[in-house]
Amino acid sequence: MTPLQNLDEILERVRDFLAVGDVESAAAAVAALRPAVAADIVAALHPADGADVLEELTPEARVEVVEELDPKVGAKVLSELDETERTDVASRLDPESLSGFLDEMAPDDAADVLQELEGGKAAAALAEMDEPDEIRELLAHDEESAGGLMVPHAITFRGTMTAAQAIELLRRNAPDEETAYYIFVTDDAERLIGVVSLRQLVVAAPSTQLQTFMRHDLITADVGTDQEECARILAKYDLLALPIVDDDQRLVGVVTADDVIDVIEEVATEDIYHLANVSAEEDVSDSVMIASRRRLMWLMINLPTAMLAAWVVSLFEGTIAQVAILAVFAPIITGQGGNAGIQTLTVVVRSIALGQLSVRDGWATLSRETMIGVVNGVAFGCVVGVIAYIWRGLPVLGVIAALAMLANMFVAAIAGTLVPLFLKAIKADPALASGVIVTTFTDVTGAASFYGLATLTIRYLVHP
């Protein structure tokens, strides 16, 4: 068997593993090869698959394979790697090899890689690059803004150009795959005045001027626009690319749909994690120690608020000692109040994230959620009250359980609405730690109202 046949066979095996989603076995097959051979296999795969395989290798093996990749291929594979692994590889590569890959990457991806690197490494790689200026400009923008997300310098066309001339110009310049789905049309002062889709260009009569069939109702954003806002605009208007303009309406870059898909997933993950008190940086590939530390930090943040609730309970120790059944029911009242608060909180946080709710709608949302809280407080209070009554045959226990449940659901609705809106108003993340704050309200209210009412009515509870 010649080595070449062997390579084809391995490639086929790797592809078979990938086809059934078994990335581990594919990676194991690649890991067994010398780095140069492994690089040939990775290069033969789709860059997204190559990246998947590399992610499963050890950091040392991974960088050895990447070093053997052709800069063009390596650039594509690096662009597809997850952030954690990409930063690790980039920091292990020497500045010359790294800059070779960066030169071949889309400028926005290259800027992303450099942004994640520590300063000295990034500066060294930047110094070795062929055209560092474009990247330097991108690095000056906030990573989470349109400026940090966009591909800079899309080609523009004058409105007086004909369709045939535009196609000819495109053919000569063979533009970047990512940005070429729209042709941006400018006036003599380079200001953006319209947009032509590639489809329109192809189907237009060759001698027509672009300005006669371009769309005028331009939707644009500027470099400072937040990336979430860019995602919302693209999703809302079903665009494949969003032009980014400066103060003089000149085109400075383009944000594309594929970057936005990543932003949407990232933002959703962040919201989900923050609502569950998990760090947004958490990743299944983190080591146990790193993950433990991150999660412990969040549990520690929760501890003072749990202690506050415990202190409120401790005020009623005397009552509990006399009527121990109260300690059986209290968790239902605090727990279900917390559940209701988290329901409200989640709806409000997600509605803010999807742009369906703004701080302006605060009063309307508060009154709506309070009404839901009262309706469900009455309904659920009755259910809990009846159960409490039946359990011990103590009518007063039923009444105070129902009242405490109602009070807690009322507070849950108010806290669940106001906490995220307040965080949004002060420009903080509405999801961040808001669950901790809301459940503190419900733990304290639930305990204070239930044990408090029990203390007031203790004579009906002790000797029935």
For the segment 79-108, give every residue that binds a second copy (CB under 8 A).
none
Shortest CB 420 distance to a second copy, Å? 12
Residue 250 binds a second copy (CB under 8 A): no
C-alpha to C-alpha distances, 27 to 85, 272, 284, nearest whole angstrom: 15, 30, 17
Whole-angstrom distance, CA of residue 73 vs CA of residue 41: 12
Q: Which of 1, 5, 120, 171 binds a second copy (CB under 8 A)?
A: 171
Residue nearer to a second copy on the CB measure, 193 or 372 = 372
Q: Which two tokens stand for residue 165?
A: 């001339």
Least distance (Å) between residue 64 CB and a second copy: 24
Site string for a second copy, 125-144 (x = CB under 8 A): --------------------
Q: Are 105 and 81 in contact (CB under 8 A)?
A: no
CA 210, CA 160: separation in Å to the nearest integer?
6
What residues numbered 343-372 form the site for a second copy, per CB under 8 A? 343, 345-347, 349-351, 354, 356-358, 360, 365, 368, 371-372
Binding mask 251-290 for a second copy (x = CB under 8 A): ------xx-xxx-xx--xx-xxx-xxxx---x-x---xx-
| Part of the chain binding a second copy (CB under 8 A), chosen from 91-99, 114-122, 137-145, 334-342 | 334-342
Among 131, 281, 314, 395, the residue binding a second copy under the rule CB under 8 A is 314
Cβ 283 to a second copy shortest distance, Å: 8
**x/- contact string, 197-236, with a second copy (CB under 8 A)?**
xxx-xxxx------------x-x--------------xxx
Binding mask 48-77 for a second copy (x = CB under 8 A): x-----------------------------
Distance CA 273, CA 425 (A): 21
Nearer to a second copy, 184 or 298 (CB): 298
**Do 338 and 438 touch, CB atoms closer than 8 A?**
yes
Rounded-to-integer distance, Cα 189 and Cα 124, Å: 38
Cα of first residue to Cα of last residue in the chain, in angstroms, is: 91
Minimum CB–partner distance for residue 399 and a second copy (Å): 18
Q: Would you say 58 or 314 has its CB closer to a second copy?
A: 314
Residue 275, Cβ density class (10 Å: 0-12 exposed, 13-18 middle, ≥19 buried)? buried
- 308 near a second copy (CB under 8 A): no
Closest distance of CB 211 from a second copy, Å: 19
In the chain, % helix, strand, coil (3-state, to 5) comes to 70, 10, 20
Who contacts 102 (Cβ-Cβ below 8 Å, separation ≥6)?
75, 110, 113, 114, 125, 129, 135
Closest to a second copy by CB, 136 vs 173, is 173
- Subset of residues 403 to 442 that bind a second copy, contact rule: CB under 8 A: 439
- Please give the C-alpha separations between residue 69 and each of 65, 176, 283, in angstroms, as whole numbers: 7, 22, 27
* Backbone torsions φ then ψ of 154, nearest 5 degrees: -70, 150
